A and B are shown apart, each in its own frame.
Chain A
Amino acid sequence: KAGVTQTPRYLIKTRGQQVTLSCSPISGHRSVSWYQQTPGQGLQFLFEYFSETQRNKGNFPGRFSGRQFSNSRSEMNVSTLELGDSALYLCASSLALTGVNEQFFGPGTRLTVL
């Protein structure tokens, strides 16, 4: 069974640009969560999608948004990029809403904002 895949793996953008990251969950998994990982703040929850609906949202500004498609694939978008948005963005999938279901993480997308 293929794992969680994320594209692209690496991305370099400049301040003010916008970026879209993609996540394909494990086949059969319907929940997708996004996290931002930085050396200073560690792993921080961004949002969670289940059945194309955002179920939970972390404490991030509105510049961070996401969506989920009917095939459970998910995208997240960051608009008006700032230097502080440089991070590893991780996607995790699980069978159902998190809590009692193991989350499987993808390798992440390394975003660098110049």
Chain B
Amino acid sequence: GESVGLHLPTLSVQEGDNSIINCAYSNSASDYFIWYKQESGKGPQFIIDIRSNMDKRQGQRVTVLLNKTVKHLSLQIAATQPGDSAVYFCAEKGNTPLVFGKGTRLSVIA
């Protein structure tokens, strides 16, 4: 079946540095992509989304980049803070319900 995301890697960054989390998707029919943040003991929390007619979207300290040519999605977090430590999931939607990647664990080193 369709799959999204990479195996669950861990990304460690120094507080104040920028973080880049990557995601690959396989369904070329997907037209809507979302990044979620999940902290321990909580459900996923919406961060930012992007539709396939865009290649970049910015939020508060976060930017999502979409490269449809190589079916790649990335989340950039500026000036990473300890509160950003969590597991980050990308999700895609096209002609199917949301499909989630396995996630990336972000650890912020103070």
* Interface residues, chain A, with chain B CB atoms under 8 Å away: 4, 33, 35, 42-45, 48, 56, 58-59, 90, 92, 98-100, 102-108
Given the contacts A33-B97, A59-B1, A90 and B43 also touching, CB distance less than 8 Å: yes
Given the contacts A100-B32, A107-B43, A42 and B93 also touching, CB distance less than 8 Å: no
* CB <8 Å contact, B98 and A103: yes
* CB <8 Å contact, B43 and A99: no
Cα-based distance from A108 to B8 in the complex (angstroms): 20
Range, interface on chain B: 20 to 34
Say how far B10's CB is from chain A's closest CB, in angstroms: 14
By a CB distance below 8 angstroms, the chain B residues around A42 are 5, 8, 89, 100-103
* CB <8 Å contact, B5 and A90: no
* CB <8 Å contact, B42 and A107: yes
* CB <8 Å contact, A43 and B97: no
Say how far A61's CB is from chain B's closest CB, in angstroms: 15
Closest to A48 in B: B97
Find residues 51-110 in chain B having any chain A CB closer than 8 Å to their own CB. 89, 91, 93, 96-103
By a CB distance below 8 angstroms, the chain A residues around B49 are 102
Say how far A9's CB is from chain B's closest CB, in angstroms: 9
